[in-house]
A and B are shown apart, each in its own frame.
Chain A
Amino acid sequence: MRRMSVTNLVALALGLAFLYVPIAILVVYSFNASRLVTVWGGWSTRWYAALLEDRAMIDAALASLLIATVSAALATVLGAFAALALTRFRFRGRLPFAAMIYAPLVMPEVITGLSLLLLFVAIDLDRGLFTIIIAHTTLTMCFVAIVVQSRLATFDRSLEEAAMDLGCPPGRTFFAVVLPVIMPAVIAGFLLAFSLSLDDLVIASFTTGPGATTLPIRIYSEIRLGVKPEINAVCTIFIAVVAATVVAASLIEKSRGREARALLA
């Protein structure tokens, strides 16, 4: 690796600062003893304690966790099968399908949210937790599909042949060999879908209904009344959860990927 020049270092530092200084400020202020957001009053965890009293915030967090878990699970199953279909079967019109799976990645969320809302209204579906789950499943399954697809692309078909050669019927080889080998990608896809769902504000606000408030919606409506220190605390916890899932996802995918590559080499 080449050594970094001073300009590169400065550019890197500025870039990172741009990304992380706001977050760092938020985290630091979540430990601020003062009620005034702009005044530093020493270290304290009082806002974290206050959170425990905030029933509405806790409900929103629980709703978000429920939505994220269920939608990520659904997205993982659907996305993994989509990836399987796209890499395994050379059916007519495979290419348009493969391209279509990328569309939700680049589609503005406002449009996805609006179109889903129109759909739910058209089929007269009561909006609430259920509709957000459906919406998040649609949004995140393509991410899962892409993660799993890249893993399947490097999957060595001779493993399946080896399994059959050793007496494993074709139907069982999927569970005996394919699934365990792509499992890291499936888990990574699940974690990615989970954190995307946890994050989402736009699509959730389009597809939510009375009584279903997710954490981002809750936070957003609170800060419209002014930034409260409790919000900083919520956001800090939130960042920690999302960061942990994303790091876990990339670690799982990377470590197992290296293992598989070492074998192929």
Chain B
Amino acid sequence: MTSGPAPSSDLPAEPLVRFESVSKRFGNVAAVDRLSLDIYSNEFFALLGPSGCGKTTLLRLLAGFERPDEGRIMLGGRDIAATPPHRRPVNMMFQNYALFPHLTVAGNVAFGLRQDGLAKAAIAARVEEMLALVKLEGLGHRRPDQLSGGQRQRVALARSLAKRPQVLLLDEPMAALDRKLREQTQFELMELQARLGLTFVIVTHDQSEAMTVAHRIAVMDRGRVVQAATPAEIYERPQSRWVAEFVGDVNLIEGIVLKTDAGEAVIGDKRGRRYRVAADVAAGAQISIALRPEKIRIHAGPAPPDAPNTMRGKVCDVGYLGSVSTYKVQLDDGVVVKATVANVARTSGEILRTNDNVWLSWPPDAAIVLTA
């Protein structure tokens, strides 16, 4: 999925953007709270988090519209605290696009270039190039209010790319688009980023969007980064219950490590059930097991005797989502477990119905053991 440069395994030594313990308070709300984060050159980086966790504030700090109360922000190794927004080699695509209503599409795209005092011919050429890049050729003479929402979004993108910024900041660029257009735009953004070789920082609260476009994701909660890693890493190895629950669906089982043996542990929950999981944990530790629904197998009849971690229950809810179906299975003791099955055959979705008795099982290495 992650194409292009800068996979996390071989990150360059020197980050392009570095937040060093940055705080920003509004009154007594800490919008950004002693946050540290590195973003590397050529990365497509996503800031993911619930509403109000400080994503926009972080972008605005980088763009220069807010000043940090504490900490340093470095760009290319230099502290940019004293650089005003109009001198930072960083451009932003605003959440509401902020197109200039009194200028045409071409005028909007040319605005930044004019500030640099470029020659008229050079500006015109660059504007053409940018409009072609976002597939808006021939619309240069229109006013923003004569465009559709998707076209406005493209103008905003072209305008923020026109100056070839070192870092492009995108604040929920696709929030106002419908699903189809959003998916299409996601791929176009990825392609643009790879082609132009720029660093993109995108803000989103849509985790599938972050997973799709970004090389690395920083998951934020209440002004802090709780985990920064590749999408796969965040999904398969979340570092805390909070991350596991925020990114994707998850079943959480709390328990105690009863014994450990060669990379496998036996976990007991408070209802007396035993689970075998592949994990390196100390005996006696309080832990949570996080199980992704798609990693749980559903059997219509009794599970094979050698299947690990089997549980018996009754289907209490079926959600048919087209490509997959999700089943909510109530175990004998009332706990509800969610399992997802890919609908590989056209009739797959019709095999199990509400109130059917089913057996669940999952392999020891399907579980994520969380101590936080």
Mark A residues whose CB is within 8 Å of B: 156, 158-159, 161-170, 176-177, 180-181, 183, 259-260, 262-264
Complex A-B: 5 CB contacts under 8 Å: A162-B92, A163-B100, A164-B84, A167-B163, A168-B86
With a CB–CB cut-off of 8 A, which chain B residues contact A180?
100, 102-103
Q: Does B63 contact A (CB under 8 A)?
A: yes
Chain B residues with CB under 8 Å of A259's CB are 101, 143, 145
Q: Any chain A CB within 8 A of the CB of B313?
A: no
Given the contacts A180-B102, A263-B144, A162 and B86 also touching, CB distance less than 8 Å: no
Residue in A156, A167, A183, A262 whose CB lies within 8 Å of B116? A167
Question: Closest residue of chain B to A264, judged by CB?
Answer: B96
Per the bound structure, the CA–CA distance linking A183 and B102 in Å amounts to: 10
Decide yes or no whether B246 CB sits under 8 A from chain A. Answer: no
Query: How far, in whole Å, are A163 and B100 apart by their CA atoms in the complex?
Result: 9
Question: B144 touching A165 by the CB < 8 A rule?
Answer: no
B187 contacts across to A, CB distance below 8 A: none
Chain A: minimal CB distance from B118 (Å): 11
Report how far A168 CA is from B86 CA in the complex, Å. 6
For B149, the closest partner residue in chain A by CB is A265
* B91 on the A face (CB < 8 A): yes
CB < 8 Å neighbour of B96 from A158, A163, A176: A158
Contact with A along B74-88 (1 / 0, CB 8 A): 000000000011110
Q: Are A263 and B101 in contact (CB under 8 A)?
A: yes
Q: Does B65 interact with chain A (Cβ within 8 Å)?
A: yes
Is B112 an interface residue, CB under 8 A from the partner? yes
- Write the nearest CB–CB distance from A184 to chain B, whole angstroms: 10
Closest approach, in angstroms, between the C-beta of A222 and any C-beta of chain B? Answer: 46
B65, B152, B163: the one contacting A166 at CB < 8 Å is B163
The answer to whether B98 has its CB under 8 Å from any CB of chain A is yes
Chain B residues closer than 8 Å to A163, beta-carbon distance: 100, 111
Are A166's CB and B112's CB within 8 A?
yes
Which residues between 135 and 158 of chain B lie within 8 Å of chain A, taking CB atoms?
A: 143-145, 152
> Could you give, for residues 92-114 of chain B, a 1 whenever the CB lies within 8 Å of some chain A CB and a 0 otherwise?
10101011111100000001100
Q: Which of A156, A162, A176 is packed against the most chain B CB atoms within 10 Å?
A: A162
**Most B Cβ at <10 Å: residue of A164, A170, A181, A259:** A164
Which B residues fall within an 8 A CB radius of A? Answer: 63, 65, 84-87, 90-92, 94, 96, 98-103, 111-112, 115-116, 143-145, 152, 159-160, 163
Tell me whether B86 and A156 are in contact (CB under 8 A).
no
| Contact assessment for A161 and B94 in the assembled complex, using a CB-CB cutoff below 8 Å | yes
What separation, in Å, do the CA atoms of A23 and B219 have in the docked complex? 70
- Cα A177 to Cα B98 in complex, Å, equals 11
Residue of B nearest to A158 (CB): B98
Contact present for B86 and A164 (CB under 8 Å): yes
A101 vs B197: C-alpha distance when bound (angstroms): 54
* Bound-complex Cα distance A256 to B162 (A): 28
Q: Closest CB of chain A to B305's CB: distance in Å? A: 63
Q: Once the chains bind, are A167 and B115 in contact (CB under 8 Å)?
A: yes
Contacts of A156 in B (CB 8 A): 96, 98
Complex formed: what's the CA distance from A167 to B94 in Å? Answer: 15
A158 to B92, CA, bound (A): 11
Contacts of A168 in B (CB 8 A): 86, 111, 115
Residues of A within 8 A of B98 (CB): 156, 158-159, 161-162
A161 CB contacts on chain B under 8 angstroms:
63, 65, 85, 92, 94, 98
What chain A residues lie within 8 Å of B144 (beta carbons)? 263
User: Shortest Cβ distance from B121 into chain A, in angstroms?
Assistant: 19
Bound Cα distance A163, B98 (Å): 9
B96 contacts A166, CB within 8 Å? Answer: no
Bound-state Cα–Cα, A263 to B94, Å:
14
Given contacts A259-B101, A260-B101, are A165 and B96 in contact (CB under 8 A)?
Answer: no
| Distance of B328 from chain A, by nearest CB (Å) | 40
A165: nearest residue on chain B (CB-CB)? B92
Contact in complex: A177, B112 (CB < 8 Å): no
**Min distance, Cβ B91 to any Cβ of chain A, angstroms:** 6
* A201 CB to nearest chain B CB (Å): 38
Complex contacts, A159 vs chain B, CB 8 Å: 98, 100
Complex Cα distance, B111 from A161, in Å, reads: 13
- Say yes or no: A162-B101 contact (C-beta < 8 A), given A167-B112, A167-B163, A168-B115: no
A164 to B90, CA, bound (A): 11
Nearest CB on A from B60, distance (A)? 8
Cβ–Cβ contact B102 & A164, under 8 A: no
Given contacts A165-B65, A180-B103, 11 further A-B contacts (CB under 8 A): A156-B96, A156-B98, A159-B100, A162-B92, A162-B159, A163-B100, A165-B86, A166-B111, A166-B163, A167-B112, A183-B102
Residue ID in chain B nearest A261 by CB atoms: B145
A55 CB → nearest B CB, Å: 45
Q: How far is the CA of A170 from the CA of B87 in the complex (A)?
A: 11
Chain A residue numbers with a CB within 8 Å of B116 are: 167
Q: A259-B145, A262-B145 are in contact. Are A169 and B99 (CB under 8 A)?
A: no
- Contact (Cβ within 8 A) B102 A170: no
Contact indicator B102/A165 (Cβ below 8 Å): no
| Contact B145–A165 (Cβ < 8 Å) | no
CA distance A158 to B96 in the complex (A): 8
Q: Which residues of chain A are within 8 angstroms of B115 by Cβ–Cβ distance?
A: 166-168
Collect the chain B residues with CB atoms within 8 Å of residue A166's CB. 86, 91, 111-112, 115, 159-160, 163
Q: Bound state CA distance, A165 and B103, in angstroms?
A: 17
User: Across the interface, do A165 and B63 meet the contact criterion of CB distance under 8 Å?
Assistant: yes
A176, B101: Cα distance in complex, Å = 12
With A and B bound together, what is the CA distance between A165 and B95 in angstroms?
14
Bound form: Cα–Cα A177–B103 in Å:
9
In the complex, which residues of chain B have a beta carbon less than 8 angstroms from the beta carbon of A260? 101, 145
